[in-house]
Amino acid sequence: MIEHLSLANFKAFRYARIRLAPVTLLTGLNSSGKSTVLQSLALLRQSYDSGILMSTDGDSDSRGGFLLDGDLVELGTGQDLLHEDFSTQEQGEGPFISVMIETAETGTYGWSAKYSPEQDVLPIPRPVEPTDWEDLPLFSRGFQYLQADRITPATTYPRSHHQAIGRGFLGARGEHAVNFLRHHAQDVVPDGPLRHPQARGHTLLDQVVAWMQELCPGVNLEAKEIPGIDSVSLSFGFGGSAGLDSTRRRRPTNVGFGLTYALPIVVACLTAGPGSLILLENPEAHLHPRGQSRMASLIAAAASAGAQLVVETHSDHVLDGTRLAVKQGRLAARDTAVHFFRGNGAGVEIITPTVAEDGSLSEWPEGFFDESDHTLDQLLG
């Protein structure tokens, strides 16, 4: 598990060392650096998948590199990535953009890329040798990164055997989640915190339906291959509610955004085994408050099952759902980290309230999910 992430000269951060826990919540105002944390990890994975994070072409000055534009993140060129108030190396080599990972199990690993303003591949002159760091969850099959811009309701979704089956990857937008669910529908979800007590069975499909019913009571779903084309379909049913026959299926375009948006997250969490790493942007998107709180319960369950989740959120319901999981003993307080990002005029300030065993927070800084209180004061004033 990653215990700390350090960034230097990376977008919003001149330097930052951020503690990561089994459940890490990144909160704060827009453009305050939350997404940068996820993007830095996705950048490493993207560079690894492309083969250049540890590649060598015989030239010691271009051995290894950061791939800035790829399937996971599109960061532009070096000038888009470099922090505007960057620091330089003491040897006068110019600015470097660095990402460092600290783990309890295998130690510390760092990658420093040499700045080049117009390039979208930044060379790493002194790369970390690919010994045991290739076994980190960040580079394993258990890695998932789901962006805020996820799949929307559609009549079909891609059927890529390589991505969904071969790699077990849901796609950065969750575009392979439907095909993944179709293929693995009858896989058994192991006994433990991820098993929903109201599910009809222990298969992945049964468990996905049960957790989706936390977001929309009575819903069920079906993922099917479309013969003759490289696509799959998704349909929803509603168990005979509102006078409808339970056998009648509805295509996602007639249901709305919330369920389709949430499905990749539910699938990712339910298939996250020990050592998995899941990066989530705005899991609350298009969900009502109850659904947001239930999503936090699922995230806590995935962490209790051995996964690590780093979550960017603007939802006080996700925060409160996490705190409630701690109070109810479903998630240990030590297994949480809450970071509040805000600009301080010279950069980004990171405030880290501690979650106690009773779910309370050690501090509540100004601007930290306090808008409801401010609005209520005005309504009552």
pLDDT, tens digit, 9 for 90 and up, residues 334-363: 999 999 999 876 678 999 999 999 999 999
Residues 137-159: pLDDT tens digits?
999 999 999 999 999 999 999 99
> Is 261 a domain residue?
yes
In a domain, 370, yes or no: no
Q: Specify the number of domains making up the chain.
A: 2
User: Which residues, including other chains, have CB under 8 Å from residue 254's CB and lie 6 or more apart?
Assistant: 153
The domain that holds 195 is classified in CATH as 3.40.50.300
Question: Is residue 133 domain-shared with residue 151, that is, in the same domain?
Answer: no
Answer whether residue 307 is part of any domain: yes
Give how far Cα 62 sits from Cα of 66, 112, 273, Å. Answer: 11, 12, 36
Band of the pLDDT at 164, cuts 50, 70, 90? very high
In a domain, 372, yes or no: no
Q: What type of residue is 97? A: I
Q: Are 160 and 176 in contact (CB under 8 A)?
A: yes
Does residue 381 lie within any of the structural domains? Answer: no
Q: What pLDDT digit, counting tens, does each position of 79-118 carry? A: 999 998 887 654 456 789 999 999 988 888 989 999 999 9
Enclosing domain of residue 80:
2-139
Dihedral angle over CA of 129, 130, 133, 137, nearest 10: 150
Looking at the fold, whether 160 and 75 belong to one and the same domain comes out as: no
What's the pLDDT score for residue 58?
41
Both structure tokens of 63: 């051995």
In a domain, residue 75? The reply is yes
Instruction: Say how far apart CA 306 and CA 142 lie, in whole Å.
Output: 11
Do 203 and 111 fall within a single domain? no
| Domain co-membership, 108 together with 177 | no
> Token pair of 4, please?
């700390």
Q: Which residues contact 227 (CB under 8 A, 6 or more apart)?
A: none
81 and 8 in a single domain? The answer is yes
Nearest alpha carbon to residue 99 among 86, 85, 109: 109
Residue type, 169: F
Tokens standing for residue 310:
């780093």
Same domain, 253 and 309: yes
d(CA 349, CA 185): 44
Secondary structure (3-state) at 244: coil
Integer Cα distance of 229 and 157 in angstroms: 11
pLDDT recorded at residue 247: 59
Q: Give the H/E segment covering residue 308.
A: strand 308-312
150 and 74 in a common domain:
no
Give the number of other CB atoms < 10 A from CB of residue 110.
15
Q: Where does a domain end: 139, 164, 187?
A: 139
Per the domain annotation, does 343 fall within a domain?
no
User: Which of 282, 303, 326 is the last residue before a domain boundary?
Assistant: 326
Residue-wise pLDDT for 257-304, tens only, equals 899 999 999 999 999 989 999 999 999 999 999 999 999 999 999 999
156 and 271 housed in the same domain: yes
**CA–CA dist 362, 336 (Å, integer):** 13
Same domain, residue pair 111 and 237: no
Residue after which a domain boundary falls, among 95, 116, 139? 139
Query: Shortest CA distance to 234 belongs to which of 202, 212, 217?
Result: 212
Residue 365 lies in a domain: no
Per-residue model confidence (pLDDT) at position 127: 60
User: Is the same domain home to 195 and 133?
Assistant: no
Q: Does residue 127 sit in the same domain as residue 158?
A: no
Residues 238 and 90 both lie in one domain: no
pLDDT for the residue 332:
97
pTM of the shown model: 0.92
